[in-house]
Structure formats: structure tokens, C-alpha cells
Amino acid sequence: MCIPKITPFLWFDNQAEEAAKFYVSVFKKSKIGKITRYGKEGYEFHKIPEGKVMTIEFQIEGQKFTALNGGPVFNFNGGISFVVNCENQEEVDYYWKKLSKGGDEKAQMCGWLKDKYGMSWQVIPTVLIKMLQDKDKKKAGSVMNAMLQMKKIDIKKLKQSFEQ
């Protein structure tokens, strides 16, 4: 059995299984893995009923994750996010639509969004990174200014600002 050295571990109140299934439905190369359920042991501490999912393992595009139903102790914040690198506008539009549905619209800016579980995502076209790293500082700055005006990234508008 091969256990990865580092696995993102996501703490949910009680939606770990629902969230894992949602994320697996959004990304093509994904799957649900092992599920561990709460037993009667420890109920006096965690107050979670026997049989409820404790942890659920899942993979998204080869990256392994574990989600925990741990109760309302911790919440996600924007200090941790997952980047979805997109090759074209079609991918940006797809992931933005899927991940932002039911999420926090106030948290959407510059390609960042918060999903319905409070997880932060960056839906970023790879061309944006290339333009921002361009040796021509004026072009890179123009792209940065354009991006700062966007919620969902618009590649066509980025390219227009780059070429001005």
C-alpha cells in the first residue's frame, strides 16, 4: 500500500461525503476512495452518530484528498485555495460555472471563487501566468490591471490588454 507523503485534509462540519462527491463530479479524472465511518466509540466527545462518514478519500486529477466530518469547529478561509489551471476559455467557463454554483458571490474576484462548501478556488488560464511573467513590464502590467477588473477571467480581454 502506497501512502502519499502529503495529502490535503479538508475539515467539514458534516458535508464531507457530499463535498467529495461534488468535487469528483466536476473533474473528469476523479474518483472516490475509502470511507471510514464513526463507531460508537468516542461519541461522548464528538457527538456524531454511529455509521456517519468520518473520513472519505478522493482523487481529483491524480491529487489525493481526505475529507473529514469533524463538526463545526473549523471553517475554510481564503488563505488556502486550490488552483485549477485551464488551457482555454471553455475550461475557465466550465470550472467557474460548476465550482461557483451556490457559492459566495462576494468572494469572486481575479479568478478566485468560493464554492458552496466555503472552499476557495482559483480558476486560472495558463496564458495569464505567461503574460504576467512576460519580460515586457508594460505588457505584464496592462494584463494585471485588466485581470484586477475581472471576476471570472476573460482570456480575450487579457490578450487585448497585452497587445495594446
pLDDT of residue 42: 86
- Residue found by looking up cell 500500500 in the block: 1
The answer, yes or no, to whether residue 76 has pLDDT greater than 90, is yes
The DSSP bridge pattern shows strands 9-12 and 63-69 to be parallel
Calpha distance 144→109 (Å, rounded): 13
Kindly list the structural domains of the chain, giving each domain's residue range(s) and its CATH number in brackets, ordered by start: 9-69 (3.30.720.100), 81-163 (3.10.180.10)
Instruction: Summarize pLDDT for 87-122 with one digit per residue, the tens.
Output: 999 999 999 999 999 999 999 999 999 999 999 999
The answer, yes or no, to whether residue 128 has pLDDT greater than 80, is yes
Calpha distance 67→30 (Å, rounded): 15
CB 33 within 8 Å of CB 56: yes
CB 112 within 8 Å of CB 104: no
| Helix (H/G/I), strand (E/B), else coil: 30 | strand
The answer, yes or no, to whether residue 130 has pLDDT greater than 70, is yes
The answer, yes or no, to whether residue 13 has pLDDT greater than 70, is yes
Name the pTM for this structure: 0.92
